[in-house]
């Protein structure tokens, strides 16, 4: 059933840029991403030439990764930007894995290793990953014996919204946790959030992404129910699977955890963990 304009307004009013479903639409603007990356990477001359919002990349062995926004810079380097609200993962290994898949995907037979792309991973979290009281952490490889940096073309930048150190980066991070943004330091970010929240076109775009993930999850739940029904030899299995899935969907939607919704559609083990987390038997 088509949502009314009032229902769409209600669905998007509490979303923030740190919420992945909102970020997927929010990031589909290269000028906005340029304003963000110039601040985080502290480079006023940085130019974003293209942005691919929310794409799926697959590695050689078949495991997909979800990229929130993959930016192309005029320098030829790429920046993968990811937002993360849930502190239930090994974030540094996640970054390592995603970077390896992007690197492999962007490499071609015959390429010299010296020509492998320069890649930045910007990981924006709602919590201080390293718990050292910093807004931003730059992680690079270091030769332990000499203390020298080893430049292998991968640069990892962890930024969080939890710690406010009074810098422009912290001011930008405060925008990510607000339902409405009006920060004169970041006019493009402010305008983008306002447009997505207050215009019919923006609301339609955000709701379309929400509905996409909900549909994928429901289809996964139907498949799960059918599998349970076959395994148990009874029709009730399907109904029980759908009921469990709907309970979980309701809980995740209520917390704007759409990244979890997407992950559980293709990962049964992950879905079972979420059932346990929310006490759904």
Q: Label residue 229 by pLDDT band (50, 70, 90).
A: low
Domain endpoint, select from 198, 233, 260: 198
Query: Does residue 5 lie in a domain region?
Result: no
Within a domain: residue 9?
Answer: no
Beta strands 119-125; 78-84: pairing state: parallel
Q: H or E stretch including 65? A: strand 64-73
Query: Do 115 and 156 fall within a single domain?
Result: yes
Is residue 273 in some structural domain?
Answer: yes
Q: Is residue 215 part of a domain?
A: yes
pLDDT at 59 (0 to 100): 47
Q: Containing domain of residue 245, as a range?
A: 207-277
99, 157 in Cβ contact below 8 A?
no
Give the pLDDT band (50/70/90) at residue 236: low
Query: In this structure, are 229 and 120 located in the same domain?
Result: no
Higher pLDDT, 258 or 193: 193
130 shares a domain with 18: yes
Count CB atoms within 10 A of the CB of residue 95.
22
Residues 168, 149 share a domain: yes
Q: Tokens for 144?
A: 């332990």
Provide the percentage of residues in the chain whose pLDDT is more than 70. Answer: 88
Residues 150 and 255 in one domain: no
What average pLDDT does the structure give for the chain? 86
Q: What's the pLDDT at 177?
A: 96
Of the given ranges (12-21, 43-52, 178-187, 270-279), which has the lowest mean pLDDT? 270-279
Give the residue-averaged pLDDT of 238-266: 78
Classify residue 35: in a domain, yes or no. yes
Q: Can you give the pLDDT at residue 206?
A: 92
* Same domain assignment for residues 174 and 107: yes
pLDDT computed for residue 240 by the predictor: 72
Please say if the pLDDT value at position 21 is more than 60.
Answer: yes
Domain assignment present for residue 3? The answer is no
Mean pLDDT along residues 171-184: 97
Q: How confident is the model at residue 228 (pLDDT cuts 50, 70, 90)?
A: low
Identify the pLDDT of residue 171.
Answer: 98
pTM of the entire predicted model: 0.83
213/144 same-domain check: no
- Domain for residue 86, yes or no? yes
Where a domain ends, among 179, 198, 217?
198
End-to-end CA distance of the chain: 29
User: Is the backbone of residue 188 left (phi > 0), alpha (psi -120 to 50) or beta?
Assistant: alpha
Average pLDDT over residues 259-276: 80
8 Å CB contact between 217 and 58: no
Same domain, 178 and 272: no
| Res 241 pLDDT > 50 | yes
Residue pair 75/43 in contact (Cβ under 8 Å)? The answer is no
Which pLDDT value is given to residue 211? 87
* 192 and 113 within one domain: yes
Of 133, 139, 132, the C-alpha closest to 165 is 133
Q: Could you tell me if 150 and 251 lie in one domain?
A: no
User: Domain boundary residue among 198, 232, 261?
Assistant: 198
Q: What is the DSSP letter of 134?
A: -
d(CA 210, CA 115): 39
Q: What is the pLDDT of residues 50-82, one digit of tens each?
A: 998 766 555 444 455 667 899 999 999 999 999
Q: What is the pLDDT of residues 125-154, one digit of tens each?
A: 999 999 999 999 999 999 999 999 999 999
Shared domain check, 171 and 268: no
The DSSP output letter for 167 is S
Distance CA 121, CA 131 (A): 19
124 pLDDT band, cuts 50/70/90, is very high
Q: Looking at the domain assignment, is residue 74 inside a domain?
A: yes
Q: How confident is the model at residue 230 (pLDDT cuts 50, 70, 90)?
A: low
Provide the pLDDT for residue 60.
Answer: 46
Q: What is the DSSP letter of 161?
A: S
User: 86: pLDDT confidence band, cut at 50, 70 and 90?
Assistant: confident
**pLDDT for res 260:** 80
Residues 105, 44, single domain; the answer is yes
In this prediction, residue 219 carries a pLDDT of 75
- Residues, the chain: 281
Question: Domain tally for the chain?
Answer: 2
Average pLDDT over residues 147-169: 96
């Amino acid at each position: 059933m088509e949502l009314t304009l009032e229902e769409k307004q209600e669905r998007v009013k509490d979303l923030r840029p740190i919420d992945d479903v909102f970020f997927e639409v929010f990031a589909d603007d290269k000028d906005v991403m340029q304003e963000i990356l110039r601040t985080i990477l502290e480079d006023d001359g940085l130019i974003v030439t293209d942005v691919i919002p929310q794409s799926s990349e697959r590695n050689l062995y078949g495991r997909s990764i979800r990229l929130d926004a993959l930016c192309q810079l005029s320098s030829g380097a790429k920046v993968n930007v990811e937002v993360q609200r849930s502190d239930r993962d090994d974030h540094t290994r996640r970054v390592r894995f995603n970077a390896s898949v992007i690197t492999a995907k962007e490499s071609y037979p015959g390429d010299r290793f010296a020509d492998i792309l320069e890649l930045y991973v910007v990981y924006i979290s709602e919590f201080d990953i390293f718990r050292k009281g910093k807004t931003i952490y730059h992680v690079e490889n270091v030769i332990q014996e000499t203390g020298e940096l080893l430049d292998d073309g991968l640069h990892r930048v962890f930024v969080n919204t939890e710690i406010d150190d009074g810098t422009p980066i912290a001011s930008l991070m405060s925008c990510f946790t607000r339902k409405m943004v009006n920060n004169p330091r970041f006019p493009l970010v402010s305008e983008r959030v306002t447009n997505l929240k207050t215009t019919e076109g923006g609301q339609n775009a955000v709701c379309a992404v929400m509905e996409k993930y909900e549909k994928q999850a429901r289809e996964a739940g139907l498949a799960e129910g059918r599998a349970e029904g076959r395994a148990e030899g009874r029709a009730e299995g399907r109904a029980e699977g759908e009921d469990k899935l709907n309970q979980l969907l309701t809980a995740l939607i209520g917390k704007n955890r759409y990244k979890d919704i997407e992950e559980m559609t293709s990962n049964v083990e992950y879905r079972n963990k979420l059932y346990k987390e929310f006490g759904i038997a």
